[in-house]
Amino acid sequence: MTDGNTTLKLDDFLPYRLSIASNRVSSAIATAYQALFGLRIPEWRLVAVIAEGQGMTQQALGAATRMDKVTVSRAAIALVERGLIARRPNPDDQRSHLLSLTPAGQDLYESVAPKALELEARIFAGFGAKELAAFRAVLDRLEASAAALDPE
Amino acid sequence: MTDGNTTLKLDDFLPYRLSIASNRVSSAIATAYQALFGLRIPEWRLVAVIAEGQGMTQQALGAATRMDKVTVSRAAIALVERGLIARRPNPDDQRSHLLSLTPAGQDLYESVAPKALELEARIFAGFGAKELAAFRAVLDRLEASAAALDPE
DNA sequence: CTCAACTGGTAACAGATGAAACTAGCTACG
DNA sequence: CGTAGCTAGTTTCATCTGTTACCAGTTGAG
C-alpha cells in the first residue's frame, strides 16, 4: 500500500455486493423462465399479479409490480398476443382496459407458480427462516431509503 | 379468493424484492455519481479497483468487478479519454495493457471514495452492525448459489 | 357546453448491456 | 519454423429498459 488516504475496497462496498447478487439471481430466474415457459420477467410479473387480482388496469399493475408503464404496456401486449391474458374495456374509463387471465393464462400460472417457489427455495436453500426474515426486512427498508434519496 | 390453488404473492417472492431493492439502490448511486463526477457505474468500479491495485490488465479487472470484458473495455476507453487512467503496454503480452490511475484519476478517486462511503452510510442508515454483517453474508452465499444454478 | 389541464396507454427514440464475430498476438506441437 | 488453436481486447449487432413525445379520452372551471 503506497497511499495513506481513504481506501475503499470494492468488495466491501455493500451497494456493489447487492447489485452483483441481485443480477446473478435475476439472471438465473430469467434463464429458467425463458427456458421453461418462454416468459420474460416483466411478463411473468404481470401474470403473477393478475392471478391474484383479476381485472386490474395497467396503471394498477405498474404500481403493483414497480414497473414502468411502458414496460407494463409491452408485457401486456406480448401476453395478449400469446393468448394468456385478455383485455376487457373498462366501463369507467374508455382509455383503459381491464386485464385478466384467459384459461390458458390461468393454466400457465398454475404451472409457473410452483416452479417459481421451487426455484426460490433452491436459490435460498441453506438459510434459516429467521435469517431470511431479517434479510427481507433489510430489503424492505432499503427499498424505501434508496427511493427517498433518488428523486427519480 | 376464488381459487383453491397454489398462490404466489409477488410481494412475498424474495427474488422480486431483491431485484426491486437493488435497482433502487443502483439507480440512486448511478444518479449521484453521474451528477457529482460524471462517472457511470462501470467506470467508477474500474477506478475503485485500479486504485487498490495499479497496473492490472482488463482481464483482471473484469474478474475483479464481475463485469463483462466488453463493459470493461468501454469503461476503460472512456476513462482514458478523460485522462483519468493511463495504459502502459504489458511487457509480458503485447495484446494487453496495464492500467493505472493518472494523477487526475488519483485525485478523482480520493474525492469519490469518501463520497461513496457517505452515500452507502446514508442508504444503510438505521441498520445495526450485526444486521448489516448478516445481510452481507446472505448476499455472499446468494451470489454463489445463484451462479451455480445459472450456467451462463 | 367548451376549453384547458390532466391521465391511460402506445410509439418513437436513446442509452446501457451482453453475445457473437473479428483482429492481433501468443503458445504448443509437429 | 510454421501452422493450429487459444486468449486479450475491440467492434458489431441484438435486446432490454426508460425518457420523451404523442393520441384519445376524462375532468373541472367558468
Q: Could you read off the pLDDT of B11-37 as tens digits, one per residue?
A: 999 999 999 999 999 999 999 999 999
Q: Chain B partners of A145 at a C-beta cutoff of 8 Å?
A: 122-126
How many Å separate Cα B80 from the centre of its chain?
19
Q: Does A36 touch chain B (CB under 8 A)?
A: no
Q: What is the pLDDT of residue A2?
A: 41
Q: Residue B149: which pLDDT band, with cuts at 50, 70 and 90?
A: confident
Q: Residue A151: which pLDDT band, with cuts at 50, 70 and 90?
A: low
A93 CA to C12 C1' distance (Å): 26
Q: Chain B partners of A14 at a C-beta cutoff of 8 Å?
A: 120, 124, 132, 135-136
**Whole-angstrom distance, CA of residue B24 vs CA of residue B19:** 9
The tens digit of pLDDT for each residue in A101-141 reads 999 999 999 999 999 999 999 999 889 999 999 999 999 99
Percentage of chain B lying above the pLDDT 90 cut? 87
- Considering only residues 25-54 of chain A, list those whose CB is below 7 Å from strand D: 40-42
| Mean pLDDT, chain B, whole residue set | 91
Grid cell of B136 as nine digits: 452481507
Is the CB of residue B125 less than 8 Å from the CB of residue B117? Answer: no
| Mean pLDDT, chain A, whole residue set | 91
Q: Does A149 touch chain B (CB under 8 A)?
A: yes
Grid cell of A15 as nine digits: 451497494
CB within 8 Å: B10 and A64: yes
CB-contacted nucleotides of strand C (7 Å): 7-12, 16-20, 24-27
* Residue A95 DSSP code: E
Calculate the CA dihedral of residues A112, A127, B149, A19 and round it to 10 degrees: 100
B93 CA to D4 C1' distance (Å): 20
User: In the predicted model, what is the mean pLDDT of residues A25-52?
Assistant: 95
Q: What is the pLDDT of residue A6?
A: 65
Is the CB of residue A79 less than 8 Å from the CB of residue A44? Answer: no
Is the CB of residue A93 less than 8 Å from the CB of residue A73? Answer: no
A73 touches strand C (CB under 7 A): yes
Which one-letter amino acid corresponds to residue A76? Answer: A
CB within 8 Å: B18 and A25: yes
Q: What is the pLDDT of residue A1?
A: 43
Is the CB of residue A64 less than 8 Å from the CB of residue A97? Answer: no
Grid cell of A118 as nine digits: 421451487
B142 CA to D3 C1' distance (Å): 46
Beta-strand (E) ranges in B26-147?
A: 85-90, 93-101
Which residue bears the cell 492500467?
B99
Alpha helical stretches, state H, chain A: 14-37, 41-52, 58-65, 69-81, 103-123, 129-149
pLDDT of residue A4 exceeding 50: no
Which one-letter amino acid corresponds to residue B141? Answer: R
pTM of the model: 0.91
Grid cell of A51 as nine digits: 392471478
Which residue bears the cell 472512456?
B78
